[in-house]
Amino acid sequence: MTVTVQGAATDEDADTAARAVANSPLVKTAVAGRDCNWGRIAAALGKCGVAFDQDDVSIDIMGMPVCREGLTVAFDEDEALRRFENPEITIWADLGAGSGSATAWTCNLTHDYVSINGDYRS
């Protein structure tokens, strides 16, 4: 997954926000479940400590607008499922608070991954 945050007050704020989304287990499991749940992305942004107005936030998942100005945007679920077949999932968010930007990379979190690592003992 590639997570890009722009529109933060500073590049450091954008980095903090991008890492919060990239490291969120709820975002990772939504991606693994092929769910365009932008609320999980918004929650990660909201709890990361970066200042912004939620009414200014826009979010795209795989190039599909799913949130504009803090509100849901209707999207085609079938098209979203097709896009989730791509090997690289992209999440983009604009905080509407400035010109800072950053990108973070991560992977999704599948049931098998949790099982393998939950059963592993050293």
Alpha helices, H only, 1-122: 11-23, 25-32, 38-46, 77-83, 111-119
Residue ranges making up the domain that contains 52: 2-119
pLDDT for position 17:
98
pTM of the model: 0.91
List the pLDDT tens digit at each of the 122 positions of the chain: 999 999 999 999 999 999 999 999 999 999 999 999 999 999 999 999 999 999 999 999 999 999 999 999 999 999 999 999 999 999 999 999 999 999 999 988 877 877 777 787 76
> Which CATH number belongs to the domain containing residue 112 in this structure?
3.10.20.340
Q: What's the pLDDT at 48?
A: 96
Sign of CA dihedral 115, 25, 102, 42: positive
Number of domains in the chain: 1
Per-residue pLDDT at 23: 96
What is the pLDDT, as a whole number, of residue 118? Answer: 76
Distance from the Cα of residue 13 to its chain's centroid:
15
